[in-house]
Amino acid sequence: MKPSTIDKQNKNASAILSEIINQPTVSRASISSATGLNKSTVSEVVKQLIEAKLIVEIGAGESSPSGGRKPIFLKINKTAGVSLSIDIRFDQISLLTAYLDGEVIQTVSHHEQINKQNIITRLMKHISAIQQETPSTLFGLIGITISIHGVVHDNQISFTPYFDLDEIDLVTALKQHLAIPIYIENEANLSALAESAFNTPYTHMVSFSVHTGIGAGVILNDHLYRGYKGRSGEIGHTVLYPGGIDCPCGNKGCFEQYCSFNALMKRYRQIKNDQTLTYDQLINHYHEQDAETIDLINRFSRDLSIGLMNVMGAYDPEVIFINSEITDKLPEILPIVEQHISRSIYNEIPVYRSELGSKASLYGCAVYNIKTFLMVDQFRFNV
């Protein structure tokens, strides 16, 4: 029995599940108080959820000062099912499994060149392997969410600048092999869902991803904002320098042609006239006070701050989290960026380095799977 089979017309189950999964400790009485549902309704729905093995009782708390029964605390039955997250880049597939409370079971990455011809074979190979290694649960895999570095709309890939997955119907092709709910979503959007699930005080935020390309996931009023056709956060394809470097999207001078990881490394290798140089060598040159590298990073930071201020002007977030291997290994960039922003009207919006790192989109996939399976609007990590 899945959540939707308990009572499709009953929103009470979703409200109660939401309280249970998003609070460290919760009882029937506290659920009644938080949701406004009467105690008998809460007790009946909780009984159904226990019978469905979606929640469990975990022991009694302390009685109130006036006495009475001790409250029985409730918790999601995390081992009732498993979420599968997949992140696809043009040269890598990463997978993460997690229980229903978000606790990670396993994470693996495979470095391989991806295209429309081999993607289904590669995915099925990795999914089959991870299924064999995943603990047996009542509901099994409750969903697969796939993170795509490109534009996604209506569970379809509409644009991928650095590989050709937009030329196939990925979900339909996978459904020929799997009887599991499958969803696809933009990588930056999923990273934003993860940041929201971990950084609960913020209801308006942007997760700014700087990898092969650049994207922004936007959370407004605690909800993911996708725009009309999924292009809301495609900040990487806004023009930074009119008439500038050609971009695969068809424009010239796009932001990600100057501030993505690939753009930074391309410029660094050009400056040093050596195509074999690595990012670690760039970092070493910077720390060694190499004049050319310092100038490169200063220009990069200035351009990055311009792009960030454009995002701030468009969405007015409380906070921006940057997720990038660039700032992870060279955090000195952020103070330079903040210095540029401090001179603008956006000087009160903090910019932080994401603590979720390269797994941000995978955590976001887990959030999406769990929210969809349990039919809840919000999911907070309490693990």
pTM, rounded to two decimals: 0.91
CATH number, position 164: 3.30.420.40
State the pLDDT at residue 9.
Answer: 45
- 144 shares a domain with 109: yes
- 343 shares a domain with 261: yes
Within a domain: residue 117? yes
Number of H helices, E strands in the chain: 14, 14
- 346 shares a domain with 235: yes
**Cβ neighbours of residue 26 closer than 8 Å, sequence gap 6 or more:** 19, 20, 73, 74, 75
Question: Of 171, 174, 185, which Cα lies nearest the Cα of 121?
Answer: 174
- 217 shares a domain with 230: yes
Boundary-marking domain end, from 25, 45, 76: 76
Within a domain: residue 8? yes
Boundary-marking domain end, from 76, 110, 130: 76
Query: What total number of domains does the chain contain?
Result: 3
- 239 shares a domain with 295: yes
With contact defined as beta carbons under 8 Å apart, do 383 and 12 qualify?
no
Within a domain: residue 382? no
Within a domain: residue 59? yes
CA-CA distance, 16 to 11, in Å (whole number)?
9
Beta bridge partners of residue 86, listed in sequence order: 95, 146
Two tokens at 249? 């999207």
pLDDT in tens, 91-120: 999 999 999 999 999 999 999 999 999 999
Within a domain: residue 334? yes
State the pLDDT at residue 23.
Answer: 86
State the pLDDT at residue 45.
Answer: 93
Task: Return the number of other C-beta atoms located less than 10 Å from residue 358's C-beta.
Answer: 17
- 286 shares a domain with 180: no
CA-CA distance, 48 to 349, in Å (whole number)?
45
Spans of the chain below 50 pLDDT: 1, 8-9
- 20 shares a domain with 56: yes
CA-CA distance, 208 to 185, in Å (whole number)?
16
CATH number, position 71: 1.10.10.10
CA-CA distance, 146 to 246, in Å (whole number)?
29
- 320 shares a domain with 263: yes
Domain with 223, as residue range(s), is: 200-354
- 64 shares a domain with 149: no
Within a domain: residue 289? yes
- 204 shares a domain with 350: yes
- 335 shares a domain with 207: yes
- 347 shares a domain with 215: yes
Residue 184 Rama label (left phi>0; alpha psi -120 to 50; beta): beta
* Centroid of chain to Cα 285: 32
Boundary-marking domain end, from 76, 92, 117: 76
Within a domain: residue 380? no
Within a domain: residue 383? no
**Cβ neighbours of residue 223 closer than 8 Å, sequence gap 6 or more:** 377
